[in-house]
Amino acid sequence: MDHFLFFSLWAFYGLLIGWVLLLLFQSGSQIGDMAGMTAAMSVGMTAGLVTGLLLPMVFHLPFFVSTAAGMGIGGGVGWIAGWRGGPAGILQGWLAGLMGGMMGAMLGVMVPPAYHSSLFRLMNVLFAGVLLLVFQLIRGCAEKDRRGSPIVFFLVVGLFLAISHFFPVGVDRPEGLHGQNSVFKFSLVDRLIPYRGIVIEAKFSWIKD
């Protein structure tokens, strides 16, 4: 994989979320409680959903690790986004981030590998669309002080979508990074265990190519 594509994609995730969070904090009291809580829920849910989805689908991490990381990142982003809204904003942003992390991890594990590429691109479109709407929501509330250019933000989102379109799903790091060319894959093995009937146990294992 091209190093440029790899690092650029993850940099754009952080850039877009950070841009919206910065705009949210700069707008201050000009944003009403309802708009602030909506923004916190949207950003937290989106961050958790994308993180929980990409970790098992792109990095092939186990379901538990992906869920924990998705909930942690989504909840943290939602907590930060809802900080200006007081306890209500923090609670809604945090819980939305936790829910997004859980749903993203479940979606990443349940979808067959044949559809990973399409799901990856679809999720990036949803991610960009939500942040665009939140960006406009914040600017619409802060009419007296419209920080941030929508044209520049739109161009950055377009560049992000272009890079994500060419991102090869299924490779967890650029070839040769840290001197390693191997890819760790995640496999789900179902085993039947007789206990008061039949119980299906899911075991996680690491396979190194």
Cβ-contact 69, 52 below 8 angstroms:
yes
Cα atoms in the Cβ-side hemisphere of radius 13 Å centred on 180:
9
Q: Measure the N-to-C terminal CA separation of the chain; round to a whole number of Å.
A: 16
Angstrom CA distances, 41 to 11, 17, 34, 147, 161, stand at 22, 13, 11, 21, 23
> Does residue 139 carry a pLDDT above 70?
yes
Average pLDDT of 97-118? 91
Domain boundary assignment for the chain: 3-177
Please state which of the ranges 56-60, 86-90, 167-171 shows the lowest mean pLDDT: 167-171
Question: How far is Cα 26 from Cα 162, in angstroms, rounded to an integer?
Answer: 29
Question: Taking the complete model, does pTM exceed 0.75, yes or no?
Answer: no
> Does residue 201 carry a pLDDT above 50?
no
Please, what is the average pLDDT of the chain? 78
Binning pLDDT at 50, 70 and 90, where does residue 10 land?
confident
Tens of pLDDT along 25-83? Answer: 887 677 777 888 899 999 999 999 999 998 888 888 899 999 999 999 999 999 999 98
The residue with greater pLDDT, 131 or 84, is: 131
> Does residue 202 carry a pLDDT above 50?
no
